[in-house]
Amino acid sequence: MTEQGTHLAFTTGEQQVVMYEPEHRQYFYSAKTSRDIYDRDRGSGGYILVDSETGALKTLYLPTGEHAGNTIFTWLLGLHQAWVFGLPYRIFLCVLGIVIAMLSYTGVYIWWRKRKTRVLVSAKVRAAAPALPPASAS
């Protein structure tokens, strides 16, 4: 991972996972990198897969900076899970959730009141309307 970091200009930090996958004959190595956008306790965005027989690098995955799709996915996941921007962002999302719930409630309440009024007006109009004579069959 450090070797790849020198080639692609990123640094590696704390080691997260080292695991052998016998069904694929490969080693999985994960570590925190300077390309991570959030700091999680378990797991990391950066990992490599190494062939267990030849020692050749099979895959290098970096959460940002390498592929646009990975970068977008990482940012969307971080924003959705509130893993970025710290406590102020989490408070903002909490307040936003409460506001959306209140708007939903008030929208349903206003609709219900208007519906109730329409039903009452409709009933009064029907009661005040003169009865139509039955249609004659000719």
pLDDT tens-digit profile of 41-57?
A: 555 578 999 999 999 99
Say if CB 28 and CB 17 are below 8 A apart. yes
pTM of the model: 0.62
23 and 45 in a single domain? The answer is yes
* Structural domain includes residue 134: no
Q: What is the dihedral of CA 33, 34, 38, 41, to 10 degrees?
A: 30
Domain encompassing residue 46? 2-84
pLDDT tens figures, 3-12: 888 888 898 8
Q: In terms of domains, do 10 and 64 share one?
A: yes
Helical (H) or strand (E) element with 59: strand 57-61
- In a domain, residue 135? The reply is no
Greatest mean pLDDT among 68-72, 77-81, 94-98, 127-131 lies in 94-98
Query: Cβ neighbours of residue 14 under 8 Å, at least 6 residues apart?
Result: 31, 32
Residue 138 forms part of a structural domain:
no
- Specify whether 11 is located in the same domain as 55: yes
Evaluate if residue 123 carries a pLDDT over 80. Answer: yes
Whole-number percent of the chain with pLDDT over 90:
43
Helix (H) and strand (E) counts in the chain: 3, 4
Residue 7 within a domain: yes
Q: 51: Cβ–Cβ under 8 A, 6 or more apart, which residues? A: 25, 26, 57, 58
Asked if the model's pLDDT at residue 100 lies above 70, the reply is yes
Mean pLDDT within 76-101 = 92
**51 and 104 part of one domain:** no
Same domain, 109 and 60: no
Whether pLDDT at 132 is above 70: no
